[in-house]
Amino acid sequence: MLVGVRAKVESADHWREQFKTHNELFTKQGVICAHIGATEDNAVLAIFEISNLKVFTELFESSETVDSMANDRIIEGSVEMFVMDETFFP
């Protein structure tokens, strides 16, 4: 299953560096891999391949995740999560 998380950050470069330090949290969340990208105006996107949506969502709302996002300098109130529940092949 895929989940996308979009946010605004203070610095995309800082976010990219810090994002990659959260291996333990991502393992707990059942993250298999993450694809990340950013725009020039510090909007970031992570697409997570996960093994269990319930586990991912519960831990996504935990204080550990909130602390990690603060460390990554994610702007509070800017986080959006999308569950990829449909696939389209043109």
Which pLDDT tens digits describe the chain residue by residue (90 residues)? 999 999 999 999 999 999 999 999 999 999 999 999 999 999 999 999 999 999 999 999 999 999 999 999 999 999 999 999 999 999
pLDDT of 87 reads 95
> How many angstroms separate the CA atoms of 78 and 42, rounded?
11
DSSP annotation of 75 reads: P
pLDDT in tens, 63-72: 999 999 999 9
pLDDT of 69 reads 97
Q: Please, what are the domains in the chain? A: 2-84 (3.30.70.100)
Going from the C-alpha of 29 to that of each of 10, 58, 61, the distances in angstroms are 25, 8, 11
Contacts of 29 by beta carbon, 8 Å cutoff, 6+ apart: 48, 50, 55, 56, 59, 60
> How many angstroms separate the CA atoms of 28 and 7, rounded?
21
pLDDT of 85 reads 95
Contacts of 61 by beta carbon, 8 Å cutoff, 6+ apart: none
